[in-house]
Structure 1
């Protein structure tokens, strides 16, 4: 099976390319009406895709042909029954990354790597103790930011509907909507003040790269990469080129809590840091190996320290593993997540989608990091107090008040002095 890095996803949670229908395997030729009238055909189509492409030829030691007979012998009266059967069938693989998405889930997932979304521009989290929906932060220059939504605001109602018992996904589905339409958020602030925020939805561009010139050790370029979306490589190039004009002596690349994204983004970004050597190899179930190499297009050769932690996964591990194996960077932080599998995401005929694990990847030195992760060169574990302090005040991230960053600066200073 030929693999193209542009169609592959390596997120810790499955996230998809905005142009994912290009790998639809011709399914759209039958049209949505066909699958809606014949839900059994959709079940069989999913089975066929898994049969042809799944990375494990034993299908987790499941008799996959018998599985087909079992599920095609069932009667299906509507799409929902077919969806339930498909999810049940995929559970036999015991692979959390191979999964079915109904049309709504598939549409929502496509925005994760497209680089833009439609909504009001807030990042949500669920309090572990109270289950309340809390605003992590409003995204700058978005409707929520301009309306006055603040970090730590608690959303208690959406268009008058209480959020009690509501999941993040359910809340997101209610908040998102067409450009120009409105949503009313009821906010509890400081546990005492209730405020109504009518907000008009807009198209929001997501920027995965944040960077700054740090006046330390003669000038350090600090780059934080939050995900490997479709626009990540372009923004990374702009960041490096800008910092180079400011004559930085070295770089700190922050990949902490970066869950991954598109494989080709990680490859393109790796090529910005070194000229020669391999980046990653992907191996499918036939043993076919596709190797991605540096191409002589490095933008800088200055010292580099990379920050990683347990939230650095997949594409983050590809990039950090490549930099480590090629002796291009020193890794500081804690063990990475350990997700070394690659998914292909396909649009199905009725508007639903399927993510299929089709390959595993290896670092340049041949390391299979799945479930193992990548060990940093310098281990720096944050205490619970330090972690909580950074969570409550995110402006401290990437400053000397951030212990892992402070260690990165120390290492970078040693490298600059050695040069």
Structure 2
């Protein structure tokens, strides 16, 4: 399972979820080391002792060729990966793994010169905690951490998420207020052909219990373990019961976990309005499977005569950047072909990278390579957004604006991630560390605090996605018609910002399979 969107973390979702559920706050002091006590012996004619400056901890040595220790592992894997390739692991030590991380960060991290020198290998007993400390502590203009996107996956998890578009669970995306009590978790998305869909779970259902344990208010550690076991099944075939509240009624829903295929493109339709046919699609993940689904969706919209588009990316945290480029081309059409969609800007140790153009043919993730892409050829598009609209989704907005397509945003401020990674695998862990900022054809990429909406609207879970009466879509159609933003819809309004906890990746975007946004 993946990490909730608040806050990004380098640990697994289940670890964060469990500790946050019982409101455990662990403060660890990493750093320190030797140093003087600050006293000295007085000398003649100088009765006042002169303290010796504390030099602080000795910084760890940094390997210029960090690749020399890559795949040297404390616990080497044996066998082959998902594609049948033998693991490259060789016997090494924990320190070898840490030396690799330190050298890789120093060479490629966008803010390598802001990593605290007090972070020392000797103070850590595992690579995950050590890696989590190897980042800047600076903040943005709004006061939030400058680097909120520093995390890891097991390599097996990452391969399954990025390549197979699969997850073990029920096929539910939750909209949550908090992982600590009192909890208000409601279903935002139900994946088609999933256990949740088969059991009749619906968008807007509020979770009240898991296997009979109070989900809203439980804080007891043993009960929290039960909640985690039922809500985050580790294996397919597990039987649990979710209790939800729906329209004032309590419904017990028996569930059996399964390997669920994530369907990123949903609810493709054309809405007839007095001023023309408006296409709509919900797009939730820039993964490999989405390539063919987007091609099919735009072909359908084009064939139905859509002359405008509402692109719903309120739940899309990112993914493959080449998919974002293809999507932007399918909106704009040939006028954007081969223009700069996104250009990476690296640190001063890294050679400039080639820009990603607006791609007019399929890369070949799930569609046949070099297939010409369908397009609507629009000079205007409306995007539904929220704080969970992130990374590659924001690149679509920024890239289109870079070639003068008018992009109206309806919903909430986006997450603010103009940055990207080149993920690296080492000893069974895939590490993600920011290595560049992406800019559009006009050189703009300064949206670390997100894109503000043109028209603010709340997520309305009293209606299905794609229903013209749903709050955000209704606001988009109204704004399109009269350029006036209606009063924000308040379906299940909460005094605390609702965010996603979903069975998918910690959202990023990739150039094309290894460079990430």
Query: Aligning the two structures, in what range does the TM-score lie when normalised by the shorter sequence?
Result: 0.7 to 0.9
Cα deviation digits, residues 5-44 of structure 1 (max 9, x gap):
xxxxxxx9699xxxxxxxx979457533878972222222
Q: How much does 1:197 deviate? A: 0.6
Cα deviation for residue 127 of structure 1 reads: 4.2
| Alpha-carbon distance, 1:172 to partner | 8.0
Q: Distance in 1 between matches of 2:230 and 2:147?
A: 22
**Correspondence for 1:403:** 475
CA distance in 1, matches of 2:207, 2:157: 26
Closer, same or farther: CA 254–113 of 1 in aligned 2, 3 Å: farther
Give the TM-score, by structure 2 length.
0.61
> How far is 1:282 from its partner?
0.7
Cα deviation code 1:170-191 (max 9, x no counterpart): 8488534444x22212414356
| Distance in 2 separating the partners of 1:161 and 1:308 | 36
Q: State the SS of the aligned residue for 1:215.
A: strand
1:3-402 to structure 2, matched below 5 A, reads 27-28=70-71, 31-32=76-77, 38-60=93-115, 62-63=116-117, 67=119, 70-71=120-121, 73-74=122-123, 76=125, 79=126, 82-90=127-135, 96-101=147-152, 103=154, 107=157, 111=161, 114-128=164-178, 130-151=182-203, 152-158=205-211, 163=215, 164-165=218-219, 171=228, 175-179=232-236, 181-190=237-246, 193=250, 195=252, 197-216=254-273, 217-272=275-330, 273-275=332-334, 276=336, 277-286=339-348, 288-295=352-359, 299-311=375-387, 312-333=389-410, 335-349=413-427, 351-374=428-451, 379-382=454-457, 387=458, 390-395=460-465, 398-399=468-469, 402=474
In the TM superposition, residue 75 of structure 1 has moved relative to its aligned partner by: 7.8
Contact 1:225–1:255 (Cα < 8 Å) also in 2: yes
Distance 1:296 1:188 in 2: 45
Counting matched residue pairs gives 370
How big is the shift at 1:263? 1.6
2:114 is paired with a residue whose SS is coil
Q: Select the structure of larger CA radius of gyration.
A: 2
Shift of 1:137: 4.2
- The 8 Å contact of residues 249 and 303 in structure 1, kept in 2 or not, is answered as no
For residues 445 and 264 of structure 2, what CA distance do their matches in structure 1 show? 30
What is the TM-score when the length of structure 1 is the normalising length?
A: 0.74
Greater share of residues in helix: 1
Q: Is contact 2:265–2:281 with CA below 8 Å preserved after alignment?
A: no
Aligned to 2:42: none
Match in the other structure for 1:4: none
In the TM superposition, what is the alpha-carbon distance from 1:214 to its structure 2 partner?
Answer: 1.0
Distance 1:293 1:393 in 2: 37
Distance 1:75 1:336 in 2: 35
Distance 1:172 1:396, change over 3 A: farther
CA distance in 2 between counterparts of 1:173 and 1:229 reads: 27
> Structure 1 residue 100: deviation in Å?
4.3
Higher relative contact order (CA 8 A, sep 6+): 1
Provide the C-alpha distance between the structure 2 equivalents of 1:123 and 1:393, rounded to a whole number of angstroms.
16
Structure 1's 210 and 282: CA in aligned 2 closer, same or farther, altered over 3 A? farther
1:212-241 alpha-carbon deviations (Å, 9 max, x no partner): 011223422112222322222322211111
Shift of 1:360: 0.5
CA distance in 1, matches of 2:394, 2:302: 25
Residue 92 of structure 1: how far off its partner (Å): 5.5
Out of 396-405 and 315-324, give the one that drifted further.
396-405
- Name the Cα RMSD after superposition: 3.8
Distance apart, 1:149 and its partner CA: 2.8
> After alignment, is 311-320 or 110-119 more displaced?
110-119
